Structure 1
Amino acid sequence: MTSASLSSPLVSTVRQVAQSAQKLASLGAETKSHALELMAQALERNQDQILEANTLDLEASREMAVPDLVLDWLRLTPERLQVAIKILRRLSALGVPSPQMSRLPYAHDAATAYYQLQPLGVIALVYEAFPELGAIAAGLCCRVGNGLVLKGGSEASQTNQIIVQVLQEAIAIAGLPETSLLFLSPEQGDALRNQLVQLPDISLVIPYGRPSLIQQIKRQATVPVLASTMGNCYLYWSTSSSSDLVYDLIMDSHRGEPDAVNAIEKVLVHTSHASSMLTRLWQRLREQGFELRGDEPMVAEFPELVLADAPDWQQPYLSPKIAFKRVESLGTAIAWINRYSSGHADCLVTESYAEGRQFALNVSSTSVYINASSRFSRNPKQGTGIALGMSSQEGRCGGIIGLEALTTIKQIVQGN
């Protein structure tokens, strides 16, 4: 699609967002903090109206036979809305992110050189269901100084519209540029979405939803894409470890609500583990409602398992299903994970420090968990890692999609 064929109204509207983003980036931290607090108050004050709109969206989506998975993502409870409100308040209290290394690693004669994080410009979030994501993305972009274009799915149209409306009112009261936040109605269709991800004024597109949406955006976009990733996380159960820890990590990883981003869905088991240990683990998982699958050798040994087809190993289930496979060594497990995992969160259970180091160094995933739960949280209790999602993209923006992922590094040389 050439620039001449792009919708002229969309081009001019997004250009206004880009101009507003420049003004937003120049505002002080206190002004942005005040705006974020007002945004949190607006969501809190209009909670009943937002939840009522969500009820209408849910009813309409059920009539349209929207998949149960998307209905779960769409359902906005008071608790989920409170997560967004708490994130906005936490962002209000945070400063602007700063790079870990401020000075450049090379010297200039009679000058000082250093890094500085800068806003990217205009972020486009293309998402299905998850109405609270619009508010969280607006908060992250406000803190950094980016403009934001939201393109939600038709299943959440009324909820998204009321959320953006109350946020825009708060932004206006705070004195921020009103056009720094743009909402594109889902009624404008996929054609408009396809045009959006090709506009030169868009600095970064973040797609969030099912793999089909992610792949479609990656094919259509002519601007940079930071693809979110969900599910198909692996765990390797090493020789020197217990089934109790494996069970605990699997269960905890699936407790991320409503989207268990880092849920363990595939388990590689060292051949030394006795059949009785596997049977005990599976019994506990079945009691929690999991469907268990296995490769051909596993099914031959345990006929009660469902056969995992070849595509299963590289695709997310996004449901309480887990596939098991025996492997002969840590090296074999690492090679399998690097080939088939989604690449954003993989786990190891071991009592060996050497195995932990080998796993951490050689698994290509952007996040590695050793004897620790991979559970995803948008607002973790510790640290400042507020997250929109996770990405398997390699490089500086891999892993958590948070504040730093929405910035770029500028190198500044200051003469004496």
Structure 2
Amino acid sequence: MTIKSSPNLLLTSVQRSYDAYLALETSDSRDRSLGIKAMARGLSRSFDAILEANTLDLEMSREMAIPDLLIEWLKLTPERLSQTVEILESLAELPDPIQQVFNAPYRLNTAGTYCQLMPLGVVALVYETFPELGAIAAGFCLKTGNSLLLRGCNSSTHSNQVIADILQAALKETELPTGCLEVLSGEQGASIQDLVTQHQYLSLVLPYGRPSLVEQVTQWATAPVLKSAMGNCYLYWSPTVDLDMVRWVILDSHASEPDPVNAIEKVLISPNQNPSILVRLFNILQEKGFELRGDEILLAEFKDYLKPVKASEWNTPYLDKIISFKVVNNLSQGIAWMNQYSSGHADCLVTDSYAESRQFATEIDSALVYINNSPRFDRHPNQGESLFLGVSNQKGHYRGLISLETFTTLKQVVQGNSKLSI
């Protein structure tokens, strides 16, 4: 089935993506892996051109008074580009995920039953800065047999376009269908709202950026949305745990670059916490450039270290080197507070109590739970088969680390025996 194209640029691109998905769905996994390798080679040969375009975007963004946070996300380096190439190379070497077959959760008499992972279809990535994210998403989608539509923000127009041109030129050298990677921009008149309402063609919309972007896309979209999340992660500090563990978990969580996905921004402490240990932690964090805030109880005792925190901040991510502290009576109260105010995608506990660890793991309503470990996010943490695009905090299509499996759906097959008489 081939859909007739439309003179409308956006609709033509969406239709071309849909046609490409129909071809990718039955494509050979080796061809898709070769396409990913071609994209990696194209990027590795083009660092100078990408960085030159990125410099232009940075200059324009500063003139337009774009927030420093977005400029940091926008700024590409040879290291960030090298990591992107490594991720693509690793994706190309992985086994084909859409060939995985699972036992079905049910049995039917006289019939064989099984489940198989299949591509979703057409995926639209709406992303704020992070120019390299388009290349990484292209690798994820191609590996899983999906076509991809990219819609970046205006502040990264030049970087996005150069990277897209490189990727599309690389894909032309392969046997993959035209349209498996389409690029749209605001300058072409392709609005985000128009894109995410193409539900007759789109199987998934993935917004990536500040919470305001994610929520806006979610409100507009008529196609299914996978909400990514970053920031506003909580830590409960059990009073018997030493300072070194807490210091490491907090600082390491902020070390992921450039995405502050799982950075701890709020710390809940016991009223029995040793004041001298708190002062030591405050000094360490301030020396590392953190701004510290506290509730009324802590502010009264540590006014030389803390600024007041507004009530609205407890459920709002800072996405910056800011940490707020709050006193809660016990772990149960801390869990209740987190379940109400955290972003719900990654929350932490440091404790030496097994009972507390089990209570936290059972009662906390978060996609990712970390106990005595840093929640630091890395797209390629083990240089092996673990590859992640981001983290989702929603319940529904997918929750947790956004991996290759996130871009697949399940097909259930029931195969009877034609030789049986009726």
Deviations along 1:263-287, one digit per CA (max 9) or x if unpaired, are 0000000122111111111111111
Q: Which residue of 2 aligns with 1:267?
A: 267
Q: Which residue of 2 aligns with 1:341?
A: 342
Q: 3-state SS of the aligned residue for 1:92?
A: helix
Deviations along 1:53-104, one digit per CA (max 9) or x if unpaired, are 1111111111111110000000010000111100100000001226998111
Whether 1:403 aligns to 2:410 is no
If the length of structure 1 is used for normalisation, what is the TM-score?
0.96
Q: 3-state SS of the aligned residue for 1:52?
A: helix
Number of matched residues?
A: 410
Whether 1:361 aligns to 2:373 is no
Q: Is the 8 A contact 2:57 2:158 kept in 1?
A: yes
Residue type at the aligned position of 1:15: Q
> Residues 37, 328 of structure 1: CA spacing in aligned structure 2 closer, same or farther, 3 A cutoff?
same
Within-5 A mapping of 1:172-191:
172-188=172-188
Q: 3-state SS of the aligned residue for 1:394?
A: coil
> Residues 179, 248 of structure 1: CA spacing in aligned structure 2 closer, same or farther, 3 A cutoff?
same
Q: Which residue of 1 aligns with 2:256?
A: 256
Q: Which residue of 2 aligns with 1:300?
A: 300
Q: Is the 8 A contact 1:7 1:195 kept in 2?
A: no
Residue type at the aligned position of 1:193: I
Q: Distance in 2 between matches of 1:403 and 1:179?
A: 20
> Residues 178, 101 of structure 1: CA spacing in aligned structure 2 closer, same or farther, 3 A cutoff?
closer
Could you tell me how far 1:7 is from its partner in structure 2? 9.0
Q: Which runs of 5+ in 1 are unaligned?
A: 1-5
Deviations along 1:119-163, one digit per CA (max 9) or x if unpaired, are 110000001110000000000000001110000011111111011
Q: Which residue of 2 aligns with 1:195?
A: 194
Q: Is the 8 A contact 2:10 2:184 kept in 1?
A: no
Within-5 A mapping of 1:386-397:
386-395=387-396, 397=398
Q: Distance in 1 between matches of 2:142 and 2:238?
A: 44
Residue type at the aligned position of 1:120: L
Q: Which runs of 5+ in 2 are unaligned?
A: 1-5, 418-422
Could you tell me how far 1:291 is from its partner in structure 2? 0.5
Q: Which moved more, 1:398-407 or 1:143-152?
A: 398-407
Could you tell me how far 1:9 is from its partner in structure 2? 3.8
Q: Distance in 1 between matches of 2:383 and 2:362?
A: 25
Whether 1:324 aligns to 2:325 is yes
Q: Which residue of 2 aligns with 1:214?
A: 214
Could you tell me how far 1:357 is from its partner in structure 2? 1.1
If the length of structure 2 is used for normalisation, what is the TM-score?
0.94
Q: 3-state SS of the aligned residue for 1:284?
A: helix
Q: Which residue of 1 aligns with 2:420?
A: none
Q: Distance in 2 between matches of 1:306 and 1:98?
A: 52
Q: Which residue of 2 aligns with 1:3?
A: none
Q: Which residue of 2 aligns with 1:86?
A: 86
Q: 3-state SS of the aligned residue for 1:14?
A: helix
Q: Distance in 2 between matches of 1:20 and 1:246?
A: 49
Q: Is the 8 A contact 2:226 2:397 kept in 1?
A: no
Could you tell me how far 1:341 is from its partner in structure 2? 0.3
Q: 3-state SS of the aligned residue for 2:173?
A: helix
Q: 3-state SS of the aligned residue for 2:130?
A: coil
Q: Which moved more, 1:176-185 or 1:85-94?
A: 176-185
Q: Distance in 2 between matches of 1:252 and 1:357?
A: 24
The root-mean-square deviation of aligned C-alpha atoms, in Å, is 1.6
